[in-house]
């Protein structure tokens, strides 16, 4: 049965993003009912949302409806989730004070379903102590706040107040309807992306890792109910909603971050492509091209996966990744044993549709007594398969 989302749209320039969000939610199979404030209709007509939802958009509390129902009450009862996008400072203040002077605020007050508020406003309005107090009160009342982003605003200012990315809002919404909560209450630590080993203030040594696999693991773990810590090297990927992101640069940075957080983790997944070597001495100034040849002296970086294999508790599950161009299974099995992992996720970088930069992957899940070859699928689907198997391993070990 379709879940019903009541989408409240208040008057801000980000109204156009609410229309895109509506379209995205409908494509995901949600039933979306839209309520607009009168001010919101100055930015976009109700017809836009009616065309997307195939429902009448309610603006006035006193609009006549065909079934003669008390519309704000019937909508409130139907709502599985109430989301306000964008939420202006004005409408947030009304929610806090219990003011119900239009269709949106009346229905919001009548609804007893979970509520999500997505603020969007000028930076000074957002940072005003009154608005901050109101947002704090909203949290105390149990409303979920999807924090605004920082960036260039319509008014010309640059700062916090921009509507959160739609992907973050959608992830928040999806989390309320996620049925697979297998990792509820568990802490999952994931490393992702490449590392960058500086040569001088300008140059560095790195690899082609995009971080996609690690970020999809974080997204999947969060959707399965886990508390997720994502330690990531430089990546263009967006941190998934609700995930604690710790950004690092070098292999040594990543090691220190892992040391600081691995103790509390129930699952540790090393998906990062960590540089094996770093330069012995980083130049203080930019290296000039004064000769035809240039020699770098490299020293080995610490092996983070090996460190974890030697230091984790018996009740922690450790998963590593092996990316090879030849002898995939043999090398992965050797890594599994040497690094004391519960599972290695192995893929061949020369296989079409696998490896760095792709949205898909083809992997083999390797354990001490078995291996499972997965067909080509999205990296999110691969992430779900990995997490499901790791949860099974934990259960097989008799760990709660």
Does residue 11 contact residue 39 with C-beta atoms inside 8 Å? yes
Angle between helices 15-27 and 46-53 (to 10 degrees): 10
Question: Annotated catalytic, 155?
Answer: yes
Catalytic residue among 138, 155, 172, 384: 155
Q: Which residues are catalytic?
A: 155
């Amino acid at each position: 049965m379709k879940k019903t989302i009541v989408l409240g749209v208040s008057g801000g320039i980000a109204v156009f993003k609410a229309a895109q969000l509506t379209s995205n939610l409908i494509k995901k199979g949600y039933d979306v009912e839209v309520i607009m404030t009168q001010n919101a209709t100055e930015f976009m007509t109700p017809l836009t949302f009616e065309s997307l939802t195939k429902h009448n958009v309610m603006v006035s509390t006193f609009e006549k409806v065909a079934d003669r129902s008390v519309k704000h009450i019937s909508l409130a009862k139907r709502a599985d989730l109430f989301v306000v996008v964008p939420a202006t400072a004005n409408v947030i203040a009304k929610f806090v004070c219990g003011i119900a002077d239009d269709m949106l605020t009346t229905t919001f007050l009548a609804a007893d379903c979970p509520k999500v508020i997505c603020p969007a406003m000028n930076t000074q309005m957002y940072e005003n102590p009154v608005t901050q107090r109101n947002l704090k009160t909203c949290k105390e009342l149990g409303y979920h706040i999807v924090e605004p982003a920082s960036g260039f605003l319509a008014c010309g200012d640059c700062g916090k107040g921009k509507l959160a990315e739609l992907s973050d809002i959608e992830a928040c919404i999806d989390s309320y309807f996620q049925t697979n909560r297998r990792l509820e209450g568990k802490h999952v630590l994931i490393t992702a992306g490449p590392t960058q080993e500086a040569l001088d203030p300008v140059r560095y040594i790195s690899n082609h890792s995009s971080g996609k696999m690690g970020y999809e693991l974080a997204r999947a773990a969060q959707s399965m109910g886990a508390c997720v810590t994502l330690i990531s090297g430089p990546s263009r990927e967006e941190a998934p909603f609700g995930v604690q992101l710790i950004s690092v640069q070098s292999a040594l940075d990543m090691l220190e971050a892992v040391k600081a957080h691995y103790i509390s983790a129930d699952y540790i997944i090393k998906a990062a492509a960590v540089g094996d070597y770093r330069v012995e001495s980083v130049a203080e100034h930019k290296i000039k091209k004064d000769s035809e040849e240039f020699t770098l002296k490299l020293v080995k970086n610490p092996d983070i996966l090996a460190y974890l294999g030697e230091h984790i508790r018996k009740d922690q599950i450790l998963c590593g990744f092996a990316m090879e161009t030849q002898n995939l299974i043999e090398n992965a099995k050797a890594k599994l044993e040497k690094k004391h992992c519960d599972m290695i996720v192995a893929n061949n970088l020369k296989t079409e549709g696998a490896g760095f930069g792709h949205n898909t992957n083809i992997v083999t899940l390797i354990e001490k007594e078995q291996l499972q070859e997965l067909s080509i699928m999205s990296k999110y689907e691969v992430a779900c398969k990995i997490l499901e198997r790791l949860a099974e391993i934990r259960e097989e070990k008799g760990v709660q």
